[in-house]
């Protein structure tokens, strides 16, 4: 699980071009949207595609993302429980 969280942090930084953020600066429970990392709706779409491409998880309802992308911890829990690859 710890490895997956580190992997997710690195992917978020790379795919969302968070140039000034390092893996160490993202805490497992930091909010990804709003006051935390400050991600927006376009980032949410990027993360939905990442879940599908890298973990085989297809979100049928984009609104699900609001809960799943709450933090790296919540994302990792969801991926562990639902991944197909």
Partner 1 sequence: MKKVYINSIASISPQKTFESASFLDDIIEYNDNVIPAFDPNYKEHIPPAAARRMAKGIKMGVVASKLAMEEAGIETVDAIITGTGMGCMIDSEKFVSAIIDNNEQYLTPTSFIQSTHNTVAGQIALGMECKAYNFTYVHSAISFESALIDAKMQLENNEANNILVGGVEELGAHTTNVHRVINHVKPEPVTISEVLNSNTEGAVFSEGANFFVVSNDKKDSSYAELLAVETYNTLQKDKLSETIKNFLEENNLKPEDLDLVVLGNNGDVDFDGYYNQLSENIFKNTKQVYYKHLVGENNTVSAFGVWLASKIIKTQQIPAIVNLNDIESAETNIVLCYNQYRGENHSLVLLKKC
The residues binding partner 1 (CB under 8 A) are 15-20, 38, 42, 45-46, 49, 52-53
Cβ-Cβ contacts under 8 Å for 40 (sequence gap 6 or more)? 33
User: Whose Cβ is closer to partner 1: residue 6's or residue 46's?
Assistant: 46
CB of residue 38 to partner 1, shortest distance in Å:
6
How far is the C-alpha of 14 from the C-alpha of 66, rounded, in Å? Answer: 21
CB of residue 49 to partner 1, shortest distance in Å:
5
Cα–Cα distance list, 41 to 32, 38, 48 (Å): 11, 10, 11
User: Whose Cβ is closer to partner 1: residue 4's or residue 21's?
Assistant: 21
| Residue indicated by tokens 């992917």 | 11
CB of residue 46 to partner 1, shortest distance in Å:
5
């Amino acid at each position: 699980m710890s490895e997956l969280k580190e992997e997710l942090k690195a992917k978020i930084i790379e795919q969302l071009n968070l140039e000034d953020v390092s893996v160490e600066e993202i805490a497992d429970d930091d909010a990804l949207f709003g006051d935390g990392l400050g991600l927006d709706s376009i980032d949410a779409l990027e993360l939905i595609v990442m879940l599908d491409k890298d973990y085989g998880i297809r979100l049928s309802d984009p609104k699900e993302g609001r809960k799943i992308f709450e933090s790296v911890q919540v994302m990792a829990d969801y991926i562990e429980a639902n991944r197909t690859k």
